[in-house]
Amino acid sequence: MAPPKKDFKGFGEWDPTPPPNQDTKPTSASGKQHNPPTASRQDSNPTASKKSSQNSKHQFSKLERAQPPRILTQASRTSRHTIQPPAPKQKYPNIVIEERPSTTLTAAQKVKRVKGIYWITGIGVYAVSSYGVYLYIQYSKAVKLQEENEKQYKLGIKSRPEVDTHQVYENISGKYDSNVRWSEFFMGMPLLRRWMMWGLQGDVLEASAGTGRNNSYYPVRNCKSVTMVDNSPNMLEIAKHDFERRYPRYGHISFAPQDAGKPIKSPSGEGFDRVIQTMGLCSQKCPVETLRNLEQHCKPGGKILLLEHGRSHYEWLNNILDAYVLDHARNWGCFWNRDISGILEESGLVVTKISRFHLGTTWLIEASPRPRKRDQTAETGSKNK
């Protein structure tokens, strides 16, 4: 191997690209270069030679010297970042995809998150314990009040008062929706109402319609006709305006301000395919007779859907309901301690499904009328009027 030349200064000053407009000149055996005839022509023209030299200098200044390949040792490879592979081409170049920030948390952020969890847990425990103490106080008061009332009823000192629920609903009709909206929302009543109204079809009868709190869940496309009945004319008028506002093109609707326990006329004269009622058994004087009347107005093979509230699974909660039932009835026209199970059994309905919520105080019931003869139609009661 030949030794390196003395003028070799390393790869840093080595430029593999030849300068432009210069051809390699062959050398003779004597070591002298033979210039082509063009070189003599350029030497004869001094201005041309100056221009060519200036152009060559300008071109050399713009050229970038190529760096030789760098050999990395094992230590330098581990210390430097690994080369990332090229990202795949984006399918939609007009969409800018932002890089997600790093999910690693600092020590201060971890401490802050732990403190937040402690605060939320503490607030939840405080709320639950406070509600438990409130229920215990109410339960103690209810037991004492109930025992005192029962003694007075037995001794004849105090008679059981009667509440006219019809008059109560007439008085509270204007503010009823605004008073019960949030309590029903937090109890999940809109979901239960929607669940009950899901499969309505054919001719529909809604007993105890009230202010029309079921109006927003009506599948009017599947309903051939809708008939609403309520004992309070003021509440039924509110329900009428609300229904017409929601479904202005639906013309198969009728409203009857009457008691649900009386005969009801259907559009076809043959009864209704679906009969629904929400929170009606608690406010009626004779709930058993009301259910029997609704059964007579339901077609054979139809369904009766009820959303009611009454006695709970737990006796301690029933004691609270019993103690405050009169106050609640005076304010809301509702006897919330009625035995829904006993009422259903006494009415004779064929109950197919019962779901209970809110510690057993809310009842979602699906029933059907008892089999009867074909000539006993739903309009028999209206013929005897």
- Give tens-digit pLDDT for 192-227: 999 999 989 999 999 999 999 999 999 999 999 999
In the block, residue with structure tokens 């037991």: 143
* Model pLDDT, residue 142: 72
* Model pLDDT, residue 106: 84
* Model pLDDT, residue 110: 82
Share of the chain above pLDDT 90, in %: 47
Q: Is the pLDDT of residue 111 over 80?
A: yes
Average pLDDT (348-361) is 94
Residue 354 φ/ψ region, left for φ over 0, alpha for ψ in the -120 to 50 degree band, beta for the rest: beta
Q: Is the pLDDT of residue 116 over 50?
A: yes
DSSP H stretches of helix in the chain: 37-44, 46-62, 74-79, 107-155, 165-172, 176-187, 189-197, 233-246, 287-296, 315-323, 325-332, 340-347, 380-383
Q: Which of 356, 358, 380, 355 is nearest to 369 (CA)?
A: 380
11-39: per-residue pLDDT in tens? 445 555 555 555 444 444 444 444 554 44
Q: In what order do the strands lie in the sheet with 223-230?
A: 253-257, 223-230, 202-207, 272-278, 298-309, 362-368, 350-357
- Which pair of structure tokens corresponds to residue 89? 């081409």
| Domain map (residue ranges) of the chain | 130-160, 165-372
Virtual torsion, Cα 71, 72, 74, 77, nearest 10 deg: -150
Residues with Cβ within 8 Å of residue 78, at least 6 apart in sequence: none
Comparing 383 with 131, the larger pLDDT belongs to 131
* Model pLDDT, residue 308: 96
pLDDT band, very low/low/confident/very high, at 68 (cuts 50, 70, 90): low
* Model pLDDT, residue 100: 61
Comparing 352 with 26, the larger pLDDT belongs to 352
Q: Which of 185, 245, 264, 173 is nearest to 210 (CA)?
A: 173
* Model pLDDT, residue 113: 84
* Model pLDDT, residue 42: 45
What average pLDDT is seen over the chain?
79
| Structural fold of domain 165-372 | Rossmann fold (3.40.50)
Provide the residue type at 384 as one letter.
N
288-323: per-residue pLDDT in tens? 999 999 999 999 999 999 999 999 999 989 988 988
* Model pLDDT, residue 382: 45
pLDDT band, very low/low/confident/very high, at 60 (cuts 50, 70, 90): very low
Comparing 11 with 330, the larger pLDDT belongs to 330
Average pLDDT (245-249) is 94
pTM over 0.95: no
* Model pLDDT, residue 140: 76
* Model pLDDT, residue 66: 52
* Model pLDDT, residue 138: 72
Q: Is the pLDDT of residue 71 over 60?
A: no
Cβ atoms 39, 8 nearer than 8 A: no
C-alpha to C-alpha distance for 234 and 214, rounded to whole angstroms: 17
133-178: per-residue pLDDT in tens? 877 787 777 777 777 777 776 776 666 667 888 899 999 999 999 9
- Which pair of structure tokens corresponds to residue 207? 């007993």
